[in-house]
Structures are given as C-alpha cells and as structure tokens.
Amino acid sequence: METYLLETKQLTKVYRNNGSKVHALQEVDLAVKPGEMVAVMGPSGCGKSTLLHILGGLDNPTSGEVHINGQRLDKMSEAQRAVLRRKQVGFMFQAFNLIGNLSVGDNIELPALVAGLSVRQARKRRDALLEDLGISDKSRNIPAQLSGGERQRVALARALVNQPTILLADEPTGNLDSKTAYEVLRLLRQTHMQGQTILIVTNDPNVASLAQRVVFMRDGRIINETILQERDDTKTLLVELLNLEGG
Ligand SMILES: Nc1ncnc2c1ncn2[C@@H]1O[C@H](COP(=O)(O)OP(=O)(O)OP(=O)(O)O)[C@@H](O)[C@H]1O
Ligand SMILES: [Mg+2]
C-alpha cells in the first residue's frame, strides 16, 4: 500500500446560508505523496479554496475523511486542529496576510515562537529563510514598504518557518505581475526541489506546469487528473525562470 502524506476520502462540504445550501465539495478523493507538488485548477466557485481551508484545518468538512501524516484531521477538536495547523501546515494566500505593524523579520519569526521554538531557534530559521529567499536586507522593513513580490516572499518564508509537512498555497501569484510572479514561482520550485510537499491552487497554466500532477475541479468534484511529463514547454518556462534569476 502506498503511503500518502495527505489523503481525503469522500470529502464533502455543504455551506448553509439562510436556508439555501451550497455543495462546495462533493465526495472528493485526493491523495498527495511525500515530496509531490500538486496543482489544483478549476473555474471560480468550484471549491478550490474550500478544499485548501479544510486540508489546512481552518474549516470543518461536513462529512468524509482527511488524513495528514497519519492523523485524522476530521476527528480532531478545534484545539487539536490549531496545533496541527501551527506545526504541520504552511499557508500562502493570494493576499499576503502579513501583519502590517510587524517587521518582515518578526512576521517570519512569529509562527515559530507561537509553535514553541526558542527565540534563538526561531531567529536562526528566520535568518536562513531571509537569506534563501533573497530578502535579508528587508528584515527590518514593514510589509507596506515592500513590493508585491517581496511581500509574497515574506509570506513564503512565514509559511515555511515551522518546516511544515505540507505547504498549501491559494493562488499565491494571483495578485502579481508576470515577472514578479515568475520570481515567486522560482522560489516555490526551489522549495519543492528541497523536498517540500506542495498543494497549490492556481488558474495559471505556467504555475501548474511546475507541478507533477494537476487536479481539475468543477462544481465541487475532481473531474480529471493529469500527470505532467517532462515536456518541452515546461523546459522553456524553466529557462525563462533561470534568465530572470540572472537579472
Ligand atoms: N463561508 C461560506 N459560506 C457560504 N458559501 C460559501 C462560503 N465559502 C465559499 N462558499 C461557496 O462555496 C463555493 C466554493 O467556493 P470556493 O471559495 O471554495 O471557490 P474557489 O474555487 O476557491 O473560487 P475562486 O476561484 O473564485 O477563488 C462557492 O459557491 C462559494 O460561493
Ligand atoms: Mg478561491
């Protein structure tokens, strides 16, 4: 039997709004292997964000199972989910979600301190990430003083600081111009190459082409899965990324 890092079984989410029901997820079966990068694509309203929120323990499913690293997320209390969220899941959203009055360094360090790392350990990880993501010189700035791409790099560093089991990213390049988006993508790819398991929601084919597998959703269901091979256009994209790296 294959071991998955993340697995859902018959995952279903029904929102109820003043008597009307929205079937946001319908019997979704998804399995992600350790080290895999999976992209989720599909039209607006098909349930992509709902899926990510439930996988990350931000919301409860109506029915079905969620297994993360051998633990049953759907059986957990709110307090247990909070612990799991802190230690096992890294989140990246379209709108950075950084704390505006904290410096870049503090934004990155905070989740590590909350998760119980010592100040020394937290600072060590913060500095390594700042270095890795090329934003060391911005450590003392506040988020408002950064460009969109820099802000999203801070968001990535913050998502990675607790060395999460899985990185969940919801359209992380959605608000960026294409050049800046490539820069963030290059870093996501680098993170993946270092072994990070990533589930990324995107409607950009360039982003999706970095993944090993693309899952297509519609009306709350997975309607298709495609395994991406090493393809010519994937390579072209990588060359473009590398060129951008050079300046
Ligand atoms: N808190 C909520 N209460 C009620 N309905 C909701 C709630 N959140 C989402 N929905 C509904 O559930 C469905 C799925 O929404 P979701 O945000 O998961 O879509 P999405 O695929 O992420 O869309 P987008 O590409 O626009 O971000 C939509 O019909 C949406 O209106
Ligand atoms: Mg969404």
Task: Measure the CA–CA gap between 136 and 130, rounded to whole angstroms.
Answer: 5
Q: Are 213 and 226 in contact (CB under 8 A)?
A: yes
**What tens digit of pLDDT does each residue of 172-184 get?**
988 788 888 888 8
**Using an 8 Å Cβ cutoff, are 153 and 134 in contact?**
yes
Q: Report whether 10 contacts 63 (CB < 8 A).
A: yes
| Contact in structure between 205 and 29 (CB atoms under 8 Å) | no
pLDDT of 241 above 70: no
In 66-199, where does DSSP find H-type helix?
78-88, 104-114, 119-132, 148-160, 178-193
CA of 46 to the centre of ligand 1 (A): 7
Nearest CA, atom 3, ligand 1: 15
- Contacts for 25 with CB less than 8 Å, ≥ 6 apart: 11, 12, 13, 47, 50, 51, 54, 61, 64, 220
The rounded mean pLDDT for the chain is 89
Q: How far apart are CA 92 and CA 187, in angstroms?
A: 13
Distance from Cα 143 to the centre of ligand 2, integer Å: 23
Instruction: Tell me the average pLDDT across 80-107.
Output: 90
Task: Output the pLDDT for position 2.
Answer: 65
Atom 5 (ligand 1) nearest CA: 15
- Is the sign of the CA dihedral 16, 18, 19, 21 positive or negative? negative
pLDDT above 90 for 17: no
Q: Does the structure show a pLDDT above 80 at 161?
A: yes
The number of C-alpha atoms within 13 Å of 202 and in the hemisphere containing its C-beta is: 26
Distance of CA 237 from the midpoint of ligand 2 (Å)? 25
> Looking at residue 175, what DSSP letter applies?
T
Crossing angle (nearest 10°) for helices 178-193 and 148-160: 20
- Residue 246 pLDDT more than 50? no
Position in ligand 1 atom list of the atom nearest CA 43:
25
* Rounded Cα gap, residues 218 and 166, in angstroms: 24
Q: Whose CA is nearest to atom 17 of ligand 1?
A: 49
CB 170 within 8 Å of CB 49: yes
What is the CA(22)–ligand 1 centre distance, in A?
A: 9
Residue nearest to atom 26 of ligand 1 (CA): 44
Structure tokens at 151: 């802000």
pLDDT score of 233: 64
**Share above pLDDT 70 across residues of the chain, in percent, rounded to a whole number:** 91
How far away, in angstroms, is 42 Cα from ligand 2 center? 10
CATH superfamily of 6-246: P-loop containing nucleotide triphosphate hydrolases (3.40.50.300)
- Atom 6 in ligand 1: residue holding the nearest Cα: 15
Name the band, by pLDDT with cuts 50, 70 and 90, for residue 99: very high
49 membership: H or E segment, kind and range = helix 48-55
In one letter, which amino acid is 37? M
Q: What pTM was estimated for this model as a whole?
A: 0.90
How far, in Å, from the CA of 45 to the mean position of ligand 1?
5
Q: Where are the domains of the chain?
A: 6-246
User: Using alpha carbons only, how large is the chain's radius of gyration in Å?
Assistant: 18
CA 17 to ligand 1 centroid distance, Å: 12
Q: For residue range 215-234, what is the model confidence (pLDDT) as tens digits?
A: 999 999 999 888 886 655 66
Q: Which ligand 1 atom is the nearest neighbour of the CA of 220?
A: 14
What average pLDDT does the segment 154-168 reach? 94
Q: What confidence tens digit (pLDDT) does each residue in 108-152 have?
A: 999 999 999 999 999 999 999 999 889 999 999 999 999 988 998
**What is the CB < 6 Å shell around ligand 1?**
15, 17, 22, 24, 42, 44-50
* SS3 assignment, position 124: helix
Could you tell me if 6 and 35 are in contact, meaning their C-beta atoms sit under 8 angstroms apart? no
Q: Whose CA is nearest to atom 9 of ligand 1?
A: 50
Q: Quick one: how far is CA 29 from the chain centroid? A: 19
Mutate to test the pocket of ligand 1, among 22, 171, 204, 207 (most ligand atoms within 8 A of CB): 22
pLDDT at 200 over 50: yes
